[in-house]
Structure 1
Amino acid sequence: MRAQSMSIREFMAGDYKKEKKHKRYGSIARRVGTSIAIPMILAKPAFASTTLDAVPVTAKEWMGEQTLSALAHVLDPVVDILVALSFPVASVIIVGACFFFMLGNSERAWSTITNASLGYVLIQVSPLILNVLKQVGNAV
C-alpha cells in the first residue's frame, strides 16, 4: 500500500473516498443504466391515455389535497391519548369532590362533579365532532 499525502482540509472533506468509488462503479452503472433505459424509451406505453381522458390537476390542487389529508390526521394520536386518559382523570377528580362533601363544602363538590362529568363526556364525544367537521370540510 502506497502512502498518500493530502491536506487536512481534503482529509476532513472526505473527497478522496468519493473519487475512488465513482471511478470504480462509474462504467458499470453507465452500462446498466443504458441497457435499461434504451428498451424503456423505445417501448410503446401499454396503458397510454388520451388527452381527453386525462384530468388536469395543478400542483396547487394536489398540494391542497395532500395537506388537508395530512392535517386531518395530525391530531389523531393526541385525541386517542385524551380519550384514554379521560376516565381515570375524571374518576380522580370526582373522588376528590367527594372529600369536599365530607368537609361540608357541598356547593364546591357539586360544581366539581358537574365540571368533571361534562369534561369527560365532551372528551369522549370529541372524535365524533372532529369527524363531522372533517366531512363538512370535505363537502365544501
Structure 2
Amino acid sequence: MAKVKTVGSISDFMTGKHREKQATSIKPIVKIGVVVGVTALSVAFGNVMPVSANAIQGAVTGKVVNAFEPLVELVKALSYPIGLVMMLGGGLFVMIGNSDRGFGMIQKAGLGYVLIQMLPLLMDLLVEIAKSL
C-alpha cells in the first residue's frame, strides 16, 4: 500500500495558507556568490598594481561634488527671487523715510546674491588646489 502524504489541514486550505510560498534563505547563495566572485577577480586581476590614494580621493571628491550639484543649482535658482524680495523691501523702507535701513537691505541683498552665484566657482577652485597638494 502507498503512503499518503499530508500537505496541510483543511483549515489551512480554507484560509488560503496553502498558497503562501515558504520563505527560502538566500544567505547561502549570497555567500557562494561572493566567494566565487572574489576568486574570479583574484584570478583575473592577480597582478594588478594597487590604486593610489590620490586616485581614490579624486574619484570620491568627484562623486560628492556631483551628488550635491542639484542642491547647489536649487540654491542658486532661489537666490534671485529671495534677493529681489529683499531689495523690494529695502526700497519700501527708503520710501517710508528709513533710508539707512533700506539702503542697507538693498546692499546686503545684492552682496548675498553675488556671493551665492560665485561660491560654487570658489569651491571648485579650492577643490583643485586641494588636489594639487
Give the C-alpha shift of residue 61 in structure 1.
6.5
Runs of 4+, deviation exceeding 6 Å: none
Q: Pick from 101, 124, 131: which aligns with 1:131? A: 124
Residue 73 (1) aligns with residue 81 (2): no
Q: List per-residue Cα deviations over 1:115-140 (Å, max 9, x = no partner).
A: 00000000111121111011112212
Cα pair 1:72 1:134 within 8 Å, conserved: no
CA distance in 1, matches of 2:55, 2:114: 37
Paired residue type of 2:127: K
What percent of counterpart residues are identical?
28
Q: Pick from 37, 43, 50: which aligns with 1:56? A: 50
Q: 2:102 maps to what in 1? A: 109
RMSD: 3.6
CA distance in 2, matches of 1:5, 1:65: 60
Q: List per-residue Cα deviations over 1:73-116 (Å, max 9, x = no partner).
A: 23211110111111111111111111101111111001101100
**May I ask how many residue pairs the two structures share in their alignment?**
104
CA distance in 2, matches of 1:61, 1:100: 53
SS class of match (1:74):
helix
Give matches, 1:1-140, under 5 Å.
4-5=7-8, 14-15=22-23, 18=24, 54-57=48-51, 64-140=57-133
Give the C-alpha shift of residue 62 in structure 1.
6.5
Q: Which runs of 5+ in 1 are unaligned?
A: 20-40, 42-47
